Amino acid sequence: MRIYLLKTIQVFILVCCSNAILTAQLYNDPNFNKPTTGYGSDGPHTTATEEFENPYYAGQNIKIYHPGDIQVKVPTLFYSHAYGGYIPLHVIGLFNFIAKKGYAIVFVPYQTTGVSVENRYENLLAGFRKAARDFPNIIDTTRVGFMGHSFGGGASFATAYRCFTENNWGQNGRFIHSSAPWYSYNISQAEMQSFPIDTKLIVEVYDDDVVNDHRMAADVFTAINIPVAEKDFIKVKTDTVNNYVYATGHDLPTTYAGFDALDYYAYYRLIDALCDYTFTGSLVAKDVALGNGSLNQITMPTGMQNLEQTDMPIVTYDESRYGFPCSAAGNPRNAYCGNFTGVSMVETGNVSIYPNPFTTGITISNLIGNEMFLLQNSVGQIVYSGNVTGLQHLNSLPNGLYILKTIAPAYSKTYKLFKE
């Protein structure tokens, strides 16, 4: 695994660097056209670029992509790139898509080697703030989103928290979109649990990712103080249609390999709708971005596997699958990794749940007295929500895996249960 991971990072850096001489690739999906209307379709605007020297990373520039035909400030996204992805052509497709939709997006490169994780975080934060100060005619800091992939996906929570709480960014709309996140530094559990409650959130993972343990994504999604109605956990699954492989590896989405349905339907479409819902309040947009498993949210082109949505993520694969496991000493949140592993009898303080597996129902003892419960099946559908009494009458449910979440003011926790 370590050899594979080293090769993955080396190839990733080489591909990113080679993009300096490439132009953006074309949509080359042999099976499905990209969306022509609605969320995920290309917008009507032109793309303009502002560029200035990055004072925190010599030789690299900070860039702002924005709609060139709009003369007023626009809602702005702040993008934290993956480790080694300091050349923006790696994800230029995303930047052009955002600008054409009428929003701005800020790209701040950070150092890959020779600095600490904390230095990289401060580079990102300082670059975002400098762009906002220097371009107030473009960037509307009252309507913002923070996006990131891999290292940047983990970093987005700390940078967003500081801009939300210290600079009051996003008072008219704010969101985070984190994909395949690495470890999340510089944000405490107390800060996660005091996160601005009006933030919207999508955490997106890819089924064939063998780099970053999905437990990191499940942890931050569960820990953050955002209501279930305003956040969704999405898994994108690999598929093959007519011998063409839609691969959901760690590098999704990319530009250097061209665009296909995964880019537009599983990634751009949700971001497009998330922007619209966050900045305008559109309920149509919410049903796509944060639809809690609605057909408008999860449906992919006919023949491809639909997206999987859940509010109570459980990780399918063992930690040994991943180059960066959640429980590693380098993860500052490694104490929370076990929350996403099922056991025969589980406890939160004095609370216990049994039997597991169950046949007709489950018993929960030593309750605080004000818990609520959500029970989901293996595809993320909620099959019960309410108080403990209803959990004693589950004989009508099909056999299989279920996910139970207990919710109380003092705690919340997720459990894996089986019915047989």
Q: Which domains does the chain have, with CATH numbers?
A: 2-310 (3.40.50.1820), 342-419 (2.60.40)
d(CA 278, CA 170): 10
According to the model, what pLDDT value does residue 255 have? 64
Cβ neighbors of 125 (< 8 A, separation 6 or more) are 159, 162, 163
According to the model, what pLDDT value does residue 363 have? 85
Q: Is residue 83 left, alpha or beta, with left meaning phi > 0 and alpha meaning psi from -120 to 50?
A: beta
According to the model, what pLDDT value does residue 9 have? 39
Tell me which residues of the chain have a pLDDT lower than 50: 1-24, 342-349
Residue 144: name the closest of 167, 113, 124, 118 by CA.
167
Sheet holding 412-419, edge to edge: 382-386, 372-377, 400-407, 412-419
Model pTM? 0.79
According to the model, what pLDDT value does residue 18 have? 37
Tens digit of each residue's pLDDT (9 = 90 or more) over 179-228: 999 999 999 999 999 999 999 999 999 999 999 999 999 999 999 999 99
Contact 137, 168 (CB under 8 A): no
